[in-house]
Structure 1
Amino acid sequence: MIRLFAVALIALAALGAWPKAAEAERCVRIFRQGNIETLINTCNVCMVATLIRSRPGNAVPVGREFNVQPRSDFPVPFKGPGRSRVKAEWPCPGEKGAQNDLLESFNKPEAEPKCVKMERSDRYDVVLVNSCGLCKAVAIERVAANGTTRSRDYFALKGGATVPVRANGYAQVGLLAEIDCPE
């Protein structure tokens, strides 16, 4: 009876120590040794990890992002009492599966508008017209009459679509760039 109880207790302890499904899918983990914490990347790609650090007596936790190279460890600069946790992780820019930087895409020279044109309309002041059969994302800029206040806005237009552009109190509207719609 005691052996059965001991085996059941060991099995429960092992199941409690087993990583949960969400933790098992993560690439970056925290290894603690005393008050020193180290990030360990178990995947074959560079990862950006967002850490949240809570210290006793501090009401507001500190958040930091760290790049952790593939299959390596990175000592975190946090020392002393407190606990850190990985809030989010994603591949480093340029790695497979990384997020596209849409603002950077609009700044490339090939982003010069080719398919989307800005035209005057009877019903609306200005409309964007996509003359291509592909979805296009465009950036516009509104400028106030004094020239100092500016506002940028972004639209996604299906092939052949027309979208009205409202002035929103600004004096001028201009088409800055276009790119293929992000997937």
Structure 2
Amino acid sequence: MAGIFFACRPTTAGAEQCVMAGKHNEREVLVNRCETCQIVTLTHKRPGPDPAVTRKYTVPGKSSTDLSFRGPGLTRIQSVAPCVAPPPPSQPADGETDGKKCARLQRRIDGGLVIVNSCNACREVIAERTGPGKFAEKETYTIAGKAYIPLSTKGGNEADIISDKACR
């Protein structure tokens, strides 16, 4: 990650921390140096009497996330916690996948879910929603490269990606 300038900011996590905040091209970024996904709570205080804004970000392992704050202000990391690992997805039959894991679920700030395709190529994704009373529903989505689409709840309170393969 060349070209990222980091001003070290003290946190309660000590010297060996997974997530760091810094600047890249005048934008603030969070960088996760650990292998595991991390949930980061941070505050951003602008100059003036307005209160600080608190936001939660999910940062995948060994990656960076641009923050939405623009202009002056001070960003502080309040807490960092590892993501809860979902159960392993069921294995597709031979020949159904190209071996890439491009699609992932990501929680929006408003609490909703989106399916994010991190690959350049189109992906066919099967998402399963589950809920109370043995409720389970599967739906297939086609997602363009480097794009995302919202995942509606449709009565479920949990979701998982059970298949991720290249478009035909």
Instruction: Compute the TM-score of the two structures, normalised by the length of structure 2.
Output: 0.42
Higher strand fraction: Structure 1 or Structure 2?
2
